[in-house]
Amino acid sequence: MTHHQRPTTNPSLPWKTRISISLISAFTDTARRSDGTVNRRILRLLDFQAPPNPKPINSVSSSDITVDASRNLWFRLFSPSFPSNLLLPVVIFFHGGGFTYLSPASKAYDAVCRRFARKLPAFVVSVNYRLAPEHIYPSQYDDGFDVLKLLNDRGAAILPENGDLSRCFLAGDSAGANLAHHVAVRACKAGFQTLKVVGLVSIQPFFGGEERTEAEKQLLGAFLVSVPRTDWCWKVFLPSGSNRDHGAVNVCGPNAEDIGGLDFPKTMVVVGGFDPLKDWQRRYYEWLKASGKEATLIEYENMMHAFYIFPELPEASQLIMQIKDFITNSCANHQQN
């Protein structure tokens, strides 16, 4: 594949999207401190929240379910209005935010998961995991896996009766896609009896390493994601003394876990042409293939990091349709096997 150098570091976007990106960047930069702490008060002021809605809005209802109150582990369940005799897959979703920001109640992620539930269609479990720097690795992975364990053990009592845990998908964007990968590895080893992960939707995953890739060097002024921002997020996420070649960060690097012997799910990897992380994301796709796993690469050459949370972009709707196709095809192949 040939990669062309770009004269600019950002795509052409509608003014509404540019304003939203500027606000997001401003409040995360303001809240991030040089000493490795975060001003949560500022974040709470600017992270606009959406409450759950037991009564359907646009054919989707939602409710918040506590997993472990002692660590504020909960998820928001999005349920589309479909006949109870029609079995639907279950999508377990992990939000982005550099392991540091946002939650399932953040308006952008509430809206994304609502669209997933309606358009895929599927029951969507959006996980509220603990955040860095207050909680470092592996807290986020523990939380994600514990939600899967709960659904495997008690899913029939929690989900609507037409939620089909034998057709379960893990999904996430950015840090959430990193989390989804590591939870998928754990799920492969767990031997769940009820829950079966048949697919992984990895939207612009947040991976990295000590090396500076060509994309990181060329896209220095990119929207939302920059080397200083990602370096800070990794530093406050990782255990003291670790570097970015830690296996949590550089999943296909010197400390990578061998997944060759695992029944790793079919994976869809989404990459944006204006995302500084795109070289790491392509390496992830290539590593999955080299490990003998089924993987599909979808590239949006003119899109930046996190493009799909902006519904005014046509590419956001296009991606949801591609995720729908991936889920439909994965379910069909699963049934044949």
Annotation says 275 is catalytic: yes
Among candidate residues 47, 164, 275, 279, the one labeled active-site is 275
Q: How far is CA 275 from the centre of its chain?
A: 15
Mode of pairing for the β-strands spanning 73-80 and 123-128: antiparallel
Quote the CA–CA distance of 256 and 333 in Å, as a whole number.
29
Closest by CA position to 34, among listed 236, 245, 237, 242:
236
- Burial zone of 147 (CB within 10 Å; 0-12 exposed, 13-18 middle, 19+ buried): buried
Q: Residue length, the chain?
A: 337
Side chain identity at residue 112, one-letter code: V
Among candidate residues 103, 174, 226, 330, the one labeled active-site is 174
Quote the CA–CA distance of 80 and 148 in Å, as a whole number.
21
**224 phi-psi bin (left φ>0, alpha ψ -120 to 50, beta other):** left
Q: Sign of dihedral through CA atoms 154, 160, 165, 169?
A: negative
Quote the CA–CA distance of 172 and 112 in Å, as a whole number.
11
Q: What DSSP letter does each residue of 19-30 carry, written as one string?
A: HHHHHHHHHHHH
Interhelix angle for 314-336 vs 107-119, to 10°?
50
Side chain identity at residue 199, one-letter code: G
- Burial zone of 271 (CB within 10 Å; 0-12 exposed, 13-18 middle, 19+ buried): buried
Backbone angles phi, psi at 165, to 5 degrees: -75, -10
Q: Which two tokens stand for residue 110?
A: 């509430």
Tokens 């609502």 sit at which residue? 114
Annotation says 59 is catalytic: no
Among candidate residues 61, 226, 305, 330, the one labeled active-site is 305
Annotation says 305 is catalytic: yes
Side chain identity at residue 231, one-letter code: D
Active-site residue numbers?
174, 275, 305
